Every structure is written in C-alpha cells, then in structure tokens.
Structure 1
Amino acid sequence: MSQKTSGRTTGVRTDIQGLRAIAVGIVVVFHFVPAALPGGYVGVDVFFVISGFLITAHLLREIDASSRVDLPRFWARRARRLLPAALLVLVLTVGAVWAIVPTGFKPSFLTQVAASALYGQNWVLADQAVDYMAAEAQASPVQHYWSLSTEEQFYIAWPLLIVVALWIATRLRKTHPHRAIGITIGLIAVVSFAWSVWQTAFDPSAAYFVTTTRAWEFALGGLTALAVVSRPAFFESIPSNIRSGMAWLGLGGIFVSALVYTGETPFPGYTALLPVLATIAVIIAHDPVTAWSPRGILAVRPMQWLGDVSYSVYLWHFPIVILAPFVLKRSLSGFDLLVITALTLALAWASKNWIEDPVRIGLTSSWRPRLTFVATAAAMGAVVAVTFTGVGAADAQVQASQKKLETRVASQDPCFGGAALEPGSDCIIEPDTAAVPDPALVDKSPERCITNTRDDELKVCEYGVDEDDADQVIALVGDSHAEQWLSAMSLTAEKRNWHVKVLTKASCPFIGVPRDEPEKSDAEVSRLVETCSTWNDEAMDYLDEHSEIDTVVTSAKSSNPVKPAAGESWQDTAISAYEERWSELPDSVTSIIAVRDTPRMSSDVLGCVTVSGKRAATECAASEDDAFGEDPLAEAADATGDSRVSLIDMSDYFIVDGECPPVIGGVLAFRDTHHISWVYSSTLAVPLGDKIDEVVETAAS
C-alpha cells in the first residue's frame, strides 16, 4: 500500500487521496467479484507510484532543508505508521485460522502470516508460483500482504539509495544533489523495467510478486516527484484546461486497464505502463480547478474518507473474504459480499481511529527512533514466534491426520474410496451423507517423485522388492498425470512382487514432439520445450540402458497440447508421436501400458468441497461428458499396431450415475481440478494392479 497522510493534517492533496480511494476500490472489487474488474489488480500499481512520488518528494524536501537524510527518523515514522494495524490484522488472522480453517491449510496459512510479519511475503509467493505442485493452492488470508512487503522493502532501500546519490553529489561537488538523485533513480527505472519485461515474458507467475520487477514503478513515481520539486514553477504554469485533460486521461487509463486487463495479460511488464503512466498523469495534473476537471469526483467527502482509510481497508478486506466461506460453510452470495464490504469499512474506520492514529501521532510520536525500533522488533518477533509455534502444532495435527488416512487405506475397507465402485460391490453410495476428509490434506502425499517444470533432471525413485527378486520391473513414465498413480503402484508393489521405477516430469508427456502452451509467452514455451525435450531424451536413454525393465506404464494430461505438424491438429500430431515413441522403446520392454487420463473437474472444485461439506458429492460434481475429453494417448493405444501396447481405462472408478463426484466412498478423489488425490489413488491400488497383471500375463502368453 501507499504512504499515508491523515486527512486532518495540512498539505494533503485531495487528488492523491482520491487516487487512493480509486485504487483500493478496484482492488477490493477485483478480490470480491473478479469478473466485474478482471484487471483490478492494477490498483496495487497505482499505490506503488503514489508511494514512489510521496516518499521521494519527502526525502527531497528534507535534503533541500538540511542537506541530509535522517534515516533513523524516517524509518521510525514508517514503522509507527504501518506496523500497528498490519500486525493487529496478522494476530487476529492467526486466531481465526486456528479456530475455523481445516487442518491441512493451517501450516501453509500460518507460514505465510510469519512471512508477512517479516515483510517477505512477496518472495514466498514468488517461490510458490514456480512450484507446479502448488499451482492451484488455496489462497491464504494474508496473500495480499505481498504488496505491503514490496512497499516495506522499498521504504528500507529507497532512502539508502538517495543517501548514496547524495554522497556521490557531495564528493563530486559540482554535481547538484537533484541531478545525482535523478541519475540514480533513472538507472533503477531503466534496469528494473527491462528486467520486468524480460522476467514477465520468461516467468510471469514469479515476476508478478518480486520487488525487482516492480522497482521501476516506484522509480517513475520518484522521478515525477523530482521533476515537480525541482521545477515547481513549470508545472504550476501548465494551463488548468490542459491539466484537467491530463487528469481525465489518467483516470481513464486506470479504469481501462482495470476493465480490459485479465489474468492472461502479461504483467507487470510493458502492460503495467498504462496504469503507471495514467497515475503519473493524475499526479502531475495536481487537482485542476476548472469546472470540468475530475476534482468534483476526487475531492468529495466519501472519496476523501475512503482514501484516508485505504490502507486499513486493504488490510482487512482480504482475510475476511477468504475466511468467511469457512465460517458460513458455503460459497459467498452477493448479500454476503455486501455485508463483508460494510464490515471491512467499519473495521478500517475503527483501526484507523483507535490504532493507527493514536500510535502514529499520540502515544509513540515522541519516541526516539531507537525505542521505536526496539518496540517494532519485539512486536514483529512476538507475532513470528506465536505463528511458528502454531505452525509446529498444525504440522503435528496434519501428521496425525495423515497417519489416520494411511491406516484407513491399509485396512483395505471394501467401501472406502474407489473400492466402493468395484463391480459387484455391495457398498451403498449415499453422497450426501459421505464423510468428507479435509480437502487440504489431499495434496500431502507421503510419496512424491517428480521433476518440476523448470528442471530437466531425470529423477528416478524406486519402490517395491529388490529388482533382482521381482517378477516384474515396471517403469512409471510420463507427466504428473502418470505420477498421480504412484500411490497406487507403490502400495501394491511389494504385495505383487514388483520393482517400480518412477520417471516423471511435470507438464511433460513421454513423447518425442515439443510441448506447446498457446496462452504462454514465447520465452516460457521455449523453456518448457527445452527442459521437456532434454528430460525425454534422458528418460529414453535410461530405458535403453536398463534392460531389466520389462513393463512401461505411462499416462499424460489429455489437454496438454504439443506443437502440431503442418496441416494437423495437435491431437493428431500427439497420437502419431505417442505411437512413434512407443516403437522406439527397446525390445527388453515387453509390455507398454497406456492409462487413460482421469477426469477434469470444475475450476473451483476444492473450494466447493471446502464450503459444501457433506453435500459436496452432489453439489460439486461434474457431468461425465464435461469431465472426460479427447485423450490422444488413449487413442494412440487403440490405434497402434504395436502388439506390446495395451490400454487401461480406470474411468469407471470416477463415475457415479453419469456424473463425476469429487467425493467417492467417503474419499475426496481430487487434489485439484485435474489430479487425483493420493488417498483415492491408494484406494485404486488393487484394481489398477489387477489390470496391469492381466495385461502382462496376456503379453507373456
């Protein structure tokens, strides 16, 4: 968020207060009703520019008055302004998470609270953004602290850079401080913008959060402040009509980006120029007084009030909207969102008047910086200590829950999970009374073996009996839709006297043609193609070199496209490529088993399960037609003339009365929209093993 100045102090710019109101308004709408303002995330960029402008202007005025920057005093003021309310929200969020959030979510949520208290949340989210297995993770109630973390890092680093520029100017003597500062800020803006454009093209998920790709937005705000402070007469001489036009164009640019941009827009690269330059235009216009200027909108009392409490609104709104469904046990309605909006505004007013202002201009205003720093460190340390204590306790709860699930799986209950759909089963499937396990536990598999999308390392994991004693040596090869069967295969390996080797890579099918992702940038696709091709080559070499492997089991996400050959659909190209890849396997492989892909559920399936409870099996189901699409791997297995290739179809274990419910036999079958959960995979160990054995025996005979 931005630097805040109380509306009761002198020198407050009503246009900037109005900008704050607009920025926080579009962010809140984006978080509450994303479809209404799909680009509402640009409100954060508006705040970044405002912060860069106000902080730089403040530092420049201090330099002009005293030829120095009082760093301790600056940082102490920032701490008194920002930390009390931020830490209060974090503390209350810890209590709420512990009281109402499902066990599996607690460790992740509380870890993010600790990261937020230390103002490193943006880097935590950037790290998670490149983790394929966390791509569809539940948003935490403090995820919005990423922007606060970015701002706090700016508040620490920016005055230091100004001090360095001032020192250089002093040593050179003939260089005016403003010029040295301008060169420093300009270099930061150019380098950061270039990095932002490149990183957004190469790795947009991480680029969105990291400070280095956002520094240019603060820097452009700083350059605007430098120009205004250095040449005030010039800007004051701009006719009011021109400034009114600039202000309207600026506001229009902000709203256009909020309306037109979407989650698919490459951001924050060059596309962030629109909201950033639009914000600068409004700031330069400086509240023109013509009859047709936007002053009548920006300066009205409600806008000024919202601008004054914008920091508090930003703090409170996200935890409430994320935690409310856990409390209500259902999805939020329009009326719920209105109530949450009112509650957010009430809490923002209360924390502004009872926490922020009393600390900032009352109780601690006379404290020396050293005392402020001690108090700040103590408060942050206390929040982190409490949070990590909670993480330890939550981890213990998760482990206990996992043990219970593992025990239940090992019991081989004939009506638990996929076993309930076995042909001839006497189990009674009553979806509305099924005991739904914690949705947050479904992604915490006791076994994982997969290479991430960014890497090309051939990771090989081995399970079951010693390969010298095994009746079959099986290689499980493919992308994450092959790896999702690891739980089933590892569970049954020793019982069936198998030795299983796992070779899988996320978003990389076992195929000889390049992957494609039309919605991704060329840089991202290039990296995906490079790592996937390298991994495929290494996997083939491994299978060639290990003649003890007699069976290859493979599967792939059916909707992941490859680059199509000329005049072909990507599906036709994939079918041919799978057949060719299988024909290249060494003669030592006597059975090649393709497993048809699993269903694809709705985009909010876990959220639906979380809030629907025992009604999830019916309320969150997908129709069979929607869940199963065209599967090139399965079609290749059907079409090939290679006698070694067979198709295994496990689809019947996901269909109940023509629908694919997320809960089957009391087990949550999915860990996200398109991967099955480790628990459900485990409950399919027997039928999957039977099908594999049948194929191998047929091939042997």
Structure 2
Amino acid sequence: MNFRYDINGLRAIAVIAVVIFHFDPSWLPGGFAGVDVFFVISGFLMTSIIFRGFEKSSFSLIKFYIARANRIIPALAMLCLTVVLAGWFLLFPEEYEALGKHAASSITFISNFVYWQEAGYFDAASHEKWLLHTWSLAVEWQFYLIYPLILLALKPLLGIDKLRHGVLVMTLALLIFSISTSALWPSASYYLLATRSWELLAGGLVFLYPVKLHKNAARVVAWTGILLIGLAYAIVDATYAWPGTWAIVPVLGTAMVIMAGVQNSWLTNNWLFQPLGRWSYSIYLWHWPLVVFGYRYDIAYWWVAGIILSVVFGFLSYRFIENIRWQRIESLTAVWRAKPVWIGALAMVAGLTIMTQQGLSGRFTPDMQSLLASMSPSPYREKCHIDEYDNPRDACEYENENVTWAVFGDSHSVELAYALAKRLDEQNEGIKHYTFSGCAPSLLQENGTSRCTRWYKEAVADIISDDRIDNVLINHRYSWTLFGDHIPDYPAVPADANPERTARILRSFDAAINKLASHKSQVVIMYPVPEIARTVPLLVASKDLFNESTDQVIGTSKAYYQKRNAVILKHLNSANYPDSVKVIRPGDTWCDEAKCYAVNGGKALYFDSNHPSVYGAQALISLMPQAWLDKPGSNTGAL
C-alpha cells in the first residue's frame, strides 16, 4: 500500500487531541475521542492487510502477528522499563507495587481488564496510574489476535466476496451492543474490546466498500469528516456514555477522511502534522506518564513543559526505538533471539518482581517506612464495608464477641470502627460494623429514593433491636453528602444548589440521631473530618522529592475546613439533641488556628485525601473519655 498522507495526518489530529485533553480537559473536553480515531485507522489498515493477503492467497497468520509485535512491543516495553526505573526513585511501596502490576499487564496486553476492575477512566485516581493509557493498546492487540481468526473461520463458508458482508453485519451488531451497554456499564464499555471493536471494524468497512469520488467531491467529504471529528472534540465530555451513540460522530468522520483519500490536503498534509503523525504512537506512549508526573508534584503550568517533552520523547522513541535496525522477528524459530521479545519479557519480569515484592519497601529509611505504614486503611475495609445492599443483620462483628457498640455511617466510618474495636477489646468488648459507601442519611425517605435508603432504615432498626448494643458512634462525610465530592472543586466550595435536598438530608440525620438516642444509652457524633488538598502520599511525595521534612505536612487551611463544612457545623452546633448525645470535633485537634494537618508527628492522619487512616482514626477515638466507654450515658460533656 502506498503511503497515505491523509491517514498520517489523521494520526496527528488524534494524538494532538488526546495530549491536550490529558494535560487540561477544559481546553478540549472531547479530546479523548482521539483514541476512537486511532481505532478506525487501525481497523482500516488491518483489514486491508488481511483481505489483500486473502486475495493473493498469501496471508500468513503467524507473519501477521509477528508484524504487529515488531510494531508495538519495542517502544511499549522501553516505556514500561523507563517508568519502572523512575518509580524506584519516586514511588512509595504501595504505588510501586501497583506500577509493577500495571507494567506487567501493559506488556501482556491485558491492562484494559485491570483498569476496568480498578476504577473509572475519568476519576481522580486515574492521575496516579502511570500506564493507564495502555488500555487502548490492549484493546488493539486483542483485536489483532481475534479478528483474523474470525475471518479465517468464515472465509471457507462465505468466500471472500461475501465475507465483507459478514464484517458489515458484525459491525452493526457490535455497534448496537456498544450503545446499549455504554449507559448500563460505562466503565466496562469504555475499556473492553466487545464494545470497542465496532470502531475498528468501521475502519475495515472503508476498505471493503470503497467509494470512488471525483476530486471536488472527495475534498468535500474529507472536510466534512474533519469537521465531524472536531465537533466530537468540542462538544462531548467525560459525562457522555462512551463509546455510545455519540462515538459514531468521530468514527464516521475518520471513515469519511480515509474514504475520500485526499493526499494533498493542507490540513492533513502539512509541515507540522506529517512528522507528528509519524511520531504519534511514541508521543501517545510518553505523554501520559508526563501528565502523571506533573499531577503528582503539582507543578504550576506543567502543561507547557509536558507537551513539549511529549513531542521530544516521542521523536526520540520513534527515531531510536521504533526505527532502530535491530533483529526483528521474522519467524517462530527466531522468536527466542529477537530483541523485541527479550525487551518485552524483561519489562514483564520487572513488573511482576516489583508486584510480588510488594513495592520493595526496603528502599526507604525507617522513619519514612513508619510514615508510609501509618497511611494504611482498616484491614476490615474490604470484608465489612459494602457498596451495594446487604442485609444489616449480617454486618461484621469484631474484635470481641461481647458486642456493646455499633458504628454506623458511610465509608468515613470504617477506620473509626476498627480503631474503636481495638480500644474496646482491651476491656473485653466488641463492635458491630454498619457502613455503606456514599450513603447519605435517608431515614425519612421512601425506599428506592437512593441506592442505600432501604439499608439505612434497616440498619437503624437492627441497631435498635439488638439488645447487646448500648452505644452508637455515627459519622458521615457530611460535605460530600450535602454538596458532592470536593476533589474537582478544591479549593472552591460548591454552592448549595438544592437547599430543599440539604434540609431533607439534615432532617433524616436528626431523625436517626434522636431515634437511636431514644433506645440506646449513648450516641456519639463525629464532627466532619477535614478534607485535604491532595492525597497524603502525593503531599508527602512532593516534600520528599525536595528533601523537605515530612514530620509535619499541611493538608489544608482551617478557613477552608470551616467554609467547606459551614452548613453541617452550624447545624450540629445549634442542634437540640438529648443529653445522651456526645460529640467529637476532629477540626479542633487536627487543626491549629490557621492550618489543618495531613501528617503530624511523622504519622499520616489519612490514607487518601479525606478518609482517616487507622492511625488517624485511633487519634480520633482517643478523644473519647474513658467514662464514655466505662459508664455509657453518665458523662454529658462534649469534646
């Protein structure tokens, strides 16, 4: 096939969009659709290779696989090795262990499954995953493995002429499947081949159903295609179900540009886009770790250096890795001595070693190891904390069979439960653990109002009916409950856009407090825990990079804490609860007059940006007077 300047220009248009989106989504909210452009291009090229081979009776499945390995593995493996080496100096054990897993899954092309299971593509945690972008390479590789096998199986049944109709049917069927599943299972739909393959097959249809256009018509079609791609970049954003119906826009636009086949368009064939198109694979590989680096160390205006370095590293990778004249894999017998295979194997072994050795914690000083150990969540978090309905009667009980306390709330109560259980165990008592992720107070709501309304009501009823339980500790992430997650907004405070909803939640909260207090000797309310600017590991990493002291690390300002929690603080301070209701105020002990701390005395108070660590929870539970534990209800004071 002759070199296609239009396709090379499309690669540049795709990689520019992806890079801009990742460095600052506000500039190009739909820039992630550049990946969809890449998929269409790959589908066109792979289909052309396979069907040309069929027509000439020269297609070799082994050679097809080998060619793909020669193209993809060397640059990817070198990226993985470089990031793993940098991680030795930059990452803490838990982060390094995760990087090892991600490196091994990336080089074995299963990273899309790993990231699908871990989290969503657009969440905050994505900026802490150095190889997240390799999910798209995994999708492509899986397509390369399966697509020719399907065609080879259908070819004897349909013949070459009808085989293209089979590809058309598969494309339409998988498109319908993708649209229907994108809304129902957005994370799986985003990452997995089953919902992405129609995009690659759409590119194949351009080859299988060629359309001859006159020169002027071809230019109109090509420009229309570019406009459709630009429309997707500008209009869609992370809130759209993807790849759903809207994904048709960039896919159709890319298909139109390839179908038009205009080779001398100034938009795709120019002095800038042609080299960027040639370097696009390597630019794509290198840009995301640079994005993560800038995010990790919170570097101002990092996008300037980051975008420049993405292009520089992309060029160097293209010149010295993609195009290096090393031994290429030409046959199965040569696999064992081919450098791409050895480099890939080395990256896989390095990743697996780091993962199995739990991030090689011996790299750090004892003081740093102690600080890192204090960032841990409750060991019962995975077992006892729920994210979907489970009968409250079956809630966990620990550390002692003599249950006298219940801990009730959302995910911000998990570590408090563990810390309280440890303290109670010293006096031969235990707790029952009731926590539901993201569950707002909803005692007065009808079942079905939220995903946890039924559970919330049943949990309160179960606590009341359990005669063993005489004391209740209740806690929520109040700011999230009332206004939404703070991470995208920090340091701004979202306005109370729905005061009726806020009032309704507060009424339900008060109802739960009063109902529990009427049946139990003592109810302890945890006031809001400060939400800090960034996760504790990132705050500590920024200090450690410049050899600054990590004995005390500021998390946020006292003013932000008070402003962020103004509604709930005012409500709790003015509430007329029974005397048996006690309160604990984390802000009075974790903050001084101006600052709230993320690390104090060389110990982390959080394991992320808002959940108390086990150490932090123990510090909060230590604020409870022993009298509250020995003689419930006898002390009516408040901390």
For this structure pair, what is the TM-score category when the shorter chain's length is used for normalisation?
A: 0.7 to 0.9
Counterpart check, 1:683 vs 2:612: no
The corresponding residue for 1:331 is 298
Q: Please identify, of 392-401 and 90-99, the stretch whose mean Cα deviation from structure 2 is larger.
A: 392-401
Match of 1:344 among 301, 310, 315: 310
CA distances 1:569-621 after superposition (whole Å, capped 9, x unpaired) = 11111122233345555965332332222223336775455324548867752
1:42–1:257 contact (8 Å) kept in structure 2 = yes
Match of 1:78 among 68, 92, 103: 68
Residues 227, 50 of structure 1: CA spacing in aligned structure 2 closer, same or farther, 3 A cutoff?
same
2:517–2:578 contact (8 Å) kept in structure 1 = no
1:200–1:266 contact (8 Å) kept in structure 2 = yes
In the TM superposition, 1:537-548 aligns within 5 A as 538-540=458-460, 542-548=462-468
Distance 1:69 1:492 in 2: 70
The corresponding residue for 1:503 is 434
Query: Displacement, 1:561?
Result: 4.8
Residues 455, 281 of structure 1: CA spacing in aligned structure 2 closer, same or farther, 3 A cutoff?
farther
Match of 1:217 among 199, 214, 218: 199
The corresponding residue for 1:549 is 469
1:112 aligned partner, one-letter code? H
In the comparison of the two structures, how many residue pairs are matched? 615
Counterpart check, 1:576 vs 2:507: yes
Distance 1:86 1:657 in 2: 50
Distance 1:591 1:354 in 2: 70
The corresponding residue for 1:601 is 532
Distance 1:83 1:441 in 2: 39
Residues 600, 477 of structure 1: CA spacing in aligned structure 2 closer, same or farther, 3 A cutoff?
same
Distance 1:466 1:130 in 2: 38
CA distances 1:296-326 after superposition (whole Å, capped 9, x unpaired) = 1211133111111111111122223434677
1:122–1:150 contact (8 Å) kept in structure 2 = yes
The corresponding residue for 2:100 is 110
The corresponding residue for 2:494 is none
The corresponding residue for 1:460 is 395
CA RMSD of aligned residues (A): 3.7
Query: Displacement, 1:380?
Result: 3.7
2:9–2:269 contact (8 Å) kept in structure 1 = yes
Residues 371, 540 of structure 1: CA spacing in aligned structure 2 closer, same or farther, 3 A cutoff?
farther
Distance 2:227 2:446 in 1: 40
Residues 223, 690 of structure 1: CA spacing in aligned structure 2 closer, same or farther, 3 A cutoff?
farther
Q: Alignment partner of 2:398: what SS?
A: strand
Q: Alignment partner of 2:609: what SS?
A: coil
Distance 1:658 1:692 in 2: 31
Counterpart check, 1:28 vs 2:11: no
Distance 1:600 1:542 in 2: 31
The corresponding residue for 2:90 is 100
Match of 1:397 among 335, 338, 361: 361
Match of 2:347 among 383, 386, 409: 383
The corresponding residue for 1:261 is 236
Distance 1:557 1:267 in 2: 30
Distance 1:339 1:573 in 2: 48
- Under a length normalisation based on structure 1, what TM-score does the superposition of the two structures give? 0.78
1:265 aligned partner, one-letter code? Y
Q: Alignment partner of 1:35: what SS?
A: coil
Query: Displacement, 1:331?
Result: 2.9
The corresponding residue for 2:334 is 371
1:596–1:633 contact (8 Å) kept in structure 2 = yes
In the TM superposition, 1:634-649 aligns within 5 A as 635=571, 639=575, 645-649=581-585
Query: Displacement, 1:72?
Result: 1.1
* Aligned sequence identity (%): 25
Residues 216, 690 of structure 1: CA spacing in aligned structure 2 closer, same or farther, 3 A cutoff?
farther
Query: Displacement, 1:444?
Result: 4.5
2:225 aligned partner, one-letter code? G
Residues 543, 78 of structure 1: CA spacing in aligned structure 2 closer, same or farther, 3 A cutoff?
same
1:491–1:685 contact (8 Å) kept in structure 2 = no
The corresponding residue for 2:565 is 629
- Under a length normalisation based on structure 2, what TM-score does the superposition of the two structures give? 0.85
Q: Alignment partner of 2:593: what SS?
A: coil
Q: Alignment partner of 2:405: what SS?
A: strand
The corresponding residue for 1:299 is 269
1:116–1:146 contact (8 Å) kept in structure 2 = yes
Q: Please identify, of 602-611 and 299-308, the stretch whose mean Cα deviation from structure 2 is larger.
A: 602-611
CA distances 1:143-193 after superposition (whole Å, capped 9, x unpaired) = 1111111111111111112222213214xxxxxx3433333x334333433
Counterpart check, 1:271 vs 2:249: no
Query: Displacement, 1:74?
Result: 0.8
Distance 1:89 1:131 in 2: 20
2:111–2:138 contact (8 Å) kept in structure 1 = yes
1:48–1:151 contact (8 Å) kept in structure 2 = yes
Residues 273, 654 of structure 1: CA spacing in aligned structure 2 closer, same or farther, 3 A cutoff?
farther
In the TM superposition, 1:116-155 aligns within 5 A as 116-129=106-119, 136=125, 139-155=128-144
Query: Displacement, 1:349?
Result: 2.8
Q: Please identify, of 309-318 and 11-20, the stretch whose mean Cα deviation from structure 2 is larger.
A: 309-318
CA distances 1:418-469 after superposition (whole Å, capped 9, x unpaired) = xxxxxxxxxxxxxxxxxxx44x9625544425434245365633334440xx
1:222 aligned partner, one-letter code? G
Distance 1:137 1:460 in 2: 31
CA distances 1:366-408 after superposition (whole Å, capped 9, x unpaired) = x22453388566554433222222223344528999x9799x7
The corresponding residue for 1:57 is 48
Q: Alignment partner of 1:474: what SS?
A: strand
In the TM superposition, 1:436-455 aligns within 5 A as 437-438=371-372, 442-448=375-381, 449-454=383-388
Distance 1:30 1:632 in 2: 36
The corresponding residue for 1:529 is 450
Q: Alignment partner of 1:296: what SS?
A: coil
2:175 aligned partner, one-letter code? F
Query: Displacement, 1:22?
Result: 1.2
The corresponding residue for 2:493 is none
Q: Alignment partner of 1:136: what SS?
A: helix
Distance 1:656 1:257 in 2: 48
The corresponding residue for 1:4 is none
Distance 2:257 2:627 in 1: 67
Residues 561, 114 of structure 1: CA spacing in aligned structure 2 closer, same or farther, 3 A cutoff?
same
CA distances 1:609-662 after superposition (whole Å, capped 9, x unpaired) = 532454886775234245532555983795466565444333212322233343
2:179 aligned partner, one-letter code? V
The corresponding residue for 2:488 is none
Counterpart check, 1:247 vs 2:222: yes
Query: Displacement, 1:670?
Result: 3.1
Counterpart check, 1:490 vs 2:421: yes
Distance 2:336 2:465 in 1: 62
Q: Alignment partner of 1:485: what SS?
A: helix
2:288 aligned partner, one-letter code? F
2:385–2:411 contact (8 Å) kept in structure 1 = no
Query: Displacement, 1:692?
Result: 4.6
2:522–2:633 contact (8 Å) kept in structure 1 = no
Structure 2: gaps of 5 or more residues? 484-497
Residues 604, 615 of structure 1: CA spacing in aligned structure 2 closer, same or farther, 3 A cutoff?
same
2:374–2:615 contact (8 Å) kept in structure 1 = no
Q: Alignment partner of 1:698: what SS?
A: coil
The corresponding residue for 1:174 is none
2:464–2:520 contact (8 Å) kept in structure 1 = no
Query: Displacement, 1:337?
Result: 4.3
Q: Alignment partner of 1:501: what SS?
A: strand
Match of 1:90 among 69, 80, 100: 80
Residues 239, 342 of structure 1: CA spacing in aligned structure 2 closer, same or farther, 3 A cutoff?
same
In the TM superposition, 1:409-448 aligns within 5 A as 437-438=371-372, 442-448=375-381
Query: Displacement, 1:672?
Result: 3.0
Query: Displacement, 1:198?
Result: 3.5
Distance 2:507 2:93 in 1: 46
